[in-house]
């Protein structure tokens, strides 16, 4: 992921959105951030040809209308989107959620820490990892 590749955050909790935005600022991640509040909104974003293809999707699981697993299943079934790396960023510690996420080709599964310094530390690891990865061209 290059520094100008957009990140798509699919998250419905306003406090978690603000925390992630603050965390990205604190780790000096300058990537454009697009936020959608559930899976349906995220699919609308991806289907709009005027929107950029994200270099990374950060996905919550527990959301209204279309949850993260439902979104991930649709995303990974589409040949135009299946190459986009998706990191689950959730409060769920359920083994079944982890299992299904990886069965649906999630690139990672991170439980959101309660303390901000711990959150920033995990966010920095995620960001640095994807900055180092050489992923294929996502624009088809």
Q: Is the pLDDT of residue 73 over 90?
A: yes
Q: Is the pLDDT of residue 140 over 90?
A: no
Cα–Cα distance between 105 and 47 in angstroms, integer? 20
Question: What pLDDT band is residue 136 in, cutting at 50, 70 and 90?
Answer: low
Cα–Cα distance between 39 and 56 in angstroms, integer? 15
Q: Is the pLDDT of residue 126 over 70?
A: yes
Mean pLDDT of the chain: 92
Q: Is the pLDDT of residue 48 over 90?
A: yes
At the top level of CATH, which class does the domain 7-132 belong to?
alpha beta
Question: What pLDDT band is residue 19 in, cutting at 50, 70 and 90?
Answer: very high
Q: Is the pLDDT of residue 139 over 90?
A: no
| HSE of 122, CA atoms in CB hemisphere, 13 A | 18
Query: Where along the chain do its domains lie?
Result: 7-132
Stretch 49-68: mean pLDDT: 94
The two most distant CA atoms of the chain are separated, in Å, by 39
Question: What pLDDT band is residue 4 in, cutting at 50, 70 and 90?
Answer: confident
Where does residue 71 fall: left (phi above 0), alpha (psi -120 to 50 degrees), or beta otherwise?
alpha
Q: Of 69, 62, 140, give the one whose Cα is nearest residue 99.
A: 69
Please give the distance of CA 57 from its chain centroid, rounded to a whole number. 3
């Amino acid at each position: 992921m290059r520094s100008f590749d957009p990140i798509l955050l699919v998250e419905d909790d306003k406090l978690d959105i603000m925390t992630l935005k603050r965390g990205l600022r604190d780790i000096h991640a300058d990537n454009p951030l697009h936020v959608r509040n559930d899976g349906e909104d995220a699919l609308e974003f991806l289907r709009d040809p005027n929107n950029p293809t994200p270099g990374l999707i950060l996905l919550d699981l527990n959301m209204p209308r279309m949850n993260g697993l439902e979104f991930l299943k649709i995303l990974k079934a589409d040949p135009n989107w299946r190459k986009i790396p998706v990191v689950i960023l959730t409060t769920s510690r359920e083994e079944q959620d982890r299992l299904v996420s990886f069965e649906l080709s999630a690139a990672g599964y991170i439980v959101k820490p309660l303390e901000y310094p711990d959150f920033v530390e995990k966010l920095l690891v995620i960001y640095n990892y994807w900055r180092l990865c050489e992923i294929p061209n996502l624009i088809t």
